[in-house]
Chains A and B, each alone.
Chain A
Amino acid sequence: MKNDNLKIAVYICHCGGNISDVIDVKRVSQELATYPNVVIGKEYAFMCSSTGQDMVIEDIVKSGINRVVIAACSPALHEATFRGALKRAGINQYLYEHVNIREQASWVHKKDKEGATLKAIALVKAAVEKMARQDELNTIKVPTTQRVAIIGGGIAGMRAAISSAAAGLDVVLIEKQSHLGGKLKRSSAIYPTNETAASVVETLEGLIELNAKIKVFCNAKISSISGFAGNFQINFEFDEAKTEKVEAGVIIIATGFDHYKPYEGEYAYGLSNRVVTLPVFIDIMGTSAEKKLIYDGKTINRIVFVHCVGSRQIDGIDNAQDNGKVNDYCSRVCCSSALFTINKLKDKYPDVDVMDIYSDMRSYGMEHETYYENASKKDILFLRRPLEERPTITPLPDGTFSVKTVDVLTWNEELELIADMIVLVTGMIPNEITDLLEYMKIPRSSDGFIQEVHPKLRPVESANKGIYIAGTALGPMDIIETLQASNTASSKAVALLSQPEIHMDPFVAVVEEDKCSGCGLCPQECSYEGALCMRETDVNGNVKMVASVNQALCVGCGACVAVCPTRAINVAGWTLDQFDAMVEAIAKG
């Protein structure tokens, strides 16, 4: 296809040797320079340098170049850079194609220089063919609602509310219970500050009450969530019969965690009142009398703590949970929390003997190691069990318990301990939020907590743009970590809503209405609710059913394109004609 109006420039980047050490860049640029519609073929050390970019701009301005192809690194790295250069040169930024000949050619074919060079030539030719069929495109602009809806009024939600409001956004805080504060609405002390949990909540509550930008709804039950980044709608009931509809640009999920509840018989749980979980024990200790620990009508003298109850479970050793899987993750906070509690216990009741059965002591936080050390100084008997061994706990007729465990520290001897109370150090499990996740189309990770986009670099972003996650809805974390995650989620919300409009790339489905037969196959394939539907439309005076795209909801996945029998639907910038031409160019080599 030769078109006199097309003036394509092709640049091959050396990437300082990353590419040119393997690929014969001169040969690639020379071969492309004579390819149809190409008027400039050059190679250069670093196209991304300001000199490289200036070269592109100069060619556009002086030689009337109207399409640009650069073969370099990954587009994730510098596609935006070169689009910016096109913009500065005064042409449409989408008349640009970035070919990755570093990760996809020079790096992977280090030992085959000839093959890598041929591959680069074929890939660049394909890009030229694509650009020969590329139209100008414009970014999609979606107006935003300057409001954040936060689901969950524990400390994660409260912190996110305060930060978002301080940044100037309206905030709606939706809580299912009758009060804010979630799991921390309790009088026990917390590490590392030793203040009461409730005081953390009170401080945050005070800041929320003072802030006119934050509206709190308690006793709320969400019935639907719809919309897209910048424009979500949440419907919910609150205070029994009242209903409310909230429009929000961003949603922050701060639905927290639940405590693992052992099943009956798990380490004798449910067989005696004196087998309790750690959170219950913390409450018992907080309210019990001074000097003697009396519980269930009995003076408690010997307590055994068992770590990793409901955490670090192993398939084939532990029972599966309701979801059919074992909890194979570590709950992160329980070791430090147990050690902190044991220190409190020994301070209040120095005469109580404490034995602690663990596998790996994960007191990872900076101060946490001192809890471990202090507990050791207080003569706590630590018993280390092998990873695969489980202690057996049997209630005895006299009301005490026999605890049998293998102890690594005494060279794998099986020891029997007698105790009059058992504390099961239970972990965290995800809260039951299946409905909410379905409304928002957000996946869970294998541990059942919410899946982030990238666990390393984007830990608070969900798969659904404009929905962020704060706190333990993501996975186990302590109070400080929760607050940090919440603030980061707010920071993402503020960034997204910092402009009155969200700008999105135009690579979304586009329908040629006169070609559309109205068969209705494509909406069935669409995974993004509301992105594609059949709508009665006037096409050149002829009213008929045609496919219609909501550009804000479409992600450009192309599932609709694949099923269209008439080639009436295409993803802008990635049309079937472009693909055909690219495949042909690659096949020719």
Chain B
Amino acid sequence: MTQITNNITDVLVIGSGIAGLQSALDIGDSGYNVTIIEKSPSTGGKMISLSKVFPTLDCASCITTPKMAAVLHHPKVKTMTYTEVKAIRKISDGFEVDVEKKPRYVIEEECISCKKCEEACPVYLDDEFEYGLGVKKAISIPFTNAIPQLPVLTESKCIRCGACAKACPKDCIDFLQEPVSMTIKAKAIIAATGYEIVPMGTKKEYSGDTLLNVISSLQSERLLAPHGPYGKVLRPSDGKIPDNIAYVQCASSRDKSIDVPYCSRVCCMYAIKQAMLLAGALPLAEITIYYMDIRAFGKGYEQFYAQARAMGICFVKAKVAKISEDTEHNPILRIDRQEDGSKPQDQTHDLVILSQGILPTRKDFFGLDVALNEYGFIQSAAPTLSPALTNIDGFFVCGVARGPKDIPDTIMEAGSAAMEAVNYIKGKM
């Protein structure tokens, strides 16, 4: 394992989702050096995989890629993708961070992103960028607008046929590449580690992990994305165009039985947004949203909700008790309507989307004793003075790492953490 040391930066940002990208840009723009550590092979986080965003209906790709490109070209920002933080140590004047760059099995400096390796590779795998709805090759560029445009070879699935190496015009496939470890010294750290959605099988009654036509909200984002896995909205079991689609709100939020008692804040709005996009893509489809409370609390959100109602999206106040399916794999929802007082009834749809809640990506911070709140998100040490501060001097937090929130709220936290980090460094000088 190669060892490189003596990397020094002002601020180290962990994560390159929209929170990490924005805080890095704000710090860089203020004249300080930033290093971003990203565990995935591309920057962009969850946002780059979304279809469109509420309430502006901007294409997520179109507004995330400029941020990714700005970070790539920023003279003050260095990005290390496909790199994992292994350990963080607090030292007198900041932090020592051990990181490990994972092998792509591609000589990065030589690669011209021509995709010839990808075309030549005979091995197909589930594509995690499409949340399992599509396939990718064992060597492939992570997604169309990934930055950097470098392929990654999934070593565990590679059959060592050598087709990629033969196809590469620059001779830059290197099957013997090894991880590279290094230690970075930073004066401050920003945790922008984001979230995962609650795993689909968590709520047993919904069988989200076994029913074929019950998908997660992130999977439906991909179905609706302009360059999604199928190029149109199809249901997974048989490729049929769905015409009776349901959203189950609070599918894994506000639910003590699965230890997610809090509201995940974004699900109401993304379900409304997706329903509107579905209504555009499939004008004849019936779309129903089963909800407890519609929490359209952000700027312009209530108006967006009103627009969805006017479009004919059907909002039903009901708790879904259970989901099963019929012989055609049509999901059957056992629902308890609040509004008209009828007994629990079964409602069949042909595609059901579970509005999954949000969990923190990390609950341990690489050996640092970062205080978390009771739900596992990073705790603000001074919420009514400097919300970006944590219990550890010089370690700041922004975005969903601090609790579920939408993109504008995340951007505002990213700038705030950047400001705190810059002033922290300045105060030490």
Contacts and interface: CB of A to CB of B under 8 A. Distances in A.
Interface of A: 16-18, 45-46, 48-49, 51, 74, 76-78, 80-81, 84, 103, 107, 163, 166-168, 190, 192-193, 195, 200, 203-204, 312, 314, 328-330, 332, 360-370, 373, 384, 386, 408-409, 411-412, 445-447, 449, 454-460, 474-475, 479-481, 483-492, 494-495, 498-499
B340 to A, nearest CB: 6
B73 A80 contact: yes
B188 to A, nearest CB: 14
Main secondary structure of the interface of B (DSSP, over half): loop
26 contacts: A17-B115, A49-B113, A77-B65, A78-B69, A80-B73, A167-B422, A168-B426, A200-B385, A332-B298, A360-B295, A360-B296, A362-B295, A362-B297, A364-B263, A364-B295, A366-B373, A409-B338, A454-B56, A456-B56, A459-B412, A481-B409, A488-B416, A489-B415, A490-B419, A492-B26, A498-B30
Given A483-B416, A485-B412, A491-B419, A474 B383 contact: no
B339 A411 contact: yes
Of the listed residues A74, A329, A330, A498, the one surrounded by the most CB atoms of chain B closer than 10 A to its CB is A330
A409 B293 CA distance: 12
B387 interface: yes
Given A167-B419, A408-B339, A366 B375 contact: yes
A84 B73 contact: yes
Contacts of B26: 488, 491-492, 495
A408 B306 contact: no
A411 B377 CA distance: 38
B73 A483 contact: no
Nearest to B421: A491
Nearest to B398: A484
Nearest to B63: A457
A491 B299 CA distance: 22
B299 A475 contact: yes
Interface in B306-363: 306, 317, 338-341
Q: Which 3 A-B pairs have the closest CB atoms?
A: A488-B415, A411-B341, A487-B416
A260 B151 CA distance: 56
A203 B385 contact: yes
B69 to A, nearest CB: 5
Contacts of A492: 26, 415
A373 B293 CA distance: 14
Of the listed residues B293, B339, B384, the one surrounded by the most CB atoms of chain A closer than 10 A to its CB is B384
B134 interface: no
Given A16-B115, A16-B149, A204 B385 contact: yes
Contacts of A365: 263, 403
Of the listed residues A366, A408, A481, the one surrounded by the most CB atoms of chain B closer than 10 A to its CB is A366
Contacts of A51: 112
A163 B423 CA distance: 7
Nearest to B302: A330
Contact of B422 (A49, A193, A360, A491): A491
Contacts of A386: 339
Given A167-B419, A366-B375, A369-B261, A330 B339 contact: no
Contacts of B112: 45-46, 49, 51
Contacts of B156: none
A474 B419 CA distance: 19
Given A167-B30, A366-B377, A498-B29, A491 B415 contact: yes
Contacts, number: 204
B388 A487 contact: yes
Q: How large is the interface on B (under 10, 10 to 19, 20 to 34, 35 or more residues)?
A: 35 or more
Contacts of B29: 495, 498
Contacts of A163: 419-420, 423
A462 B158 CA distance: 51
A457 B407 contact: yes
Contacts of A367: 262
B263 A363 contact: yes
A365 to B, nearest CB: 8
A494 B149 contact: no
Contacts of B370: none
Given A16-B141, A107-B226, A485-B416, 11 more contacts: A80-B73, A167-B426, A363-B263, A364-B263, A366-B375, A458-B411, A483-B386, A483-B416, A484-B415, A488-B412, A491-B419
B55 interface: yes
Contacts of A411: 339-341
B300 interface: yes
A330 B296 contact: yes
A488 B144 contact: no
B55 A455 contact: yes
B370 to A, nearest CB: 17
Contacts of B30: 167, 491, 494-495, 498
Contacts of A361: 293
Contacts of A491: 26, 30, 415-416, 418-419, 422
A446 B302 CA distance: 12
A163 B387 CA distance: 13
Interface string B95-130: 000000000000000001111000000000000000
A48 B68 CA distance: 13
B152 to A, nearest CB: 15
Contacts of A480: 380, 383-384, 387
Given A409-B338, A455-B408, A447 B300 contact: yes
A168 B426 CA distance: 9
Interface string B46-66: 000000010110100011011
A447 B296 CA distance: 15
Interface in B378-429: 380, 383-388, 403-404, 407-409, 411-416, 418-420, 422-423, 426-427
Nearest to B420: A487
B69 A449 contact: no
Interface in B21-63: 26, 29-31, 53, 55-56, 58, 62-63
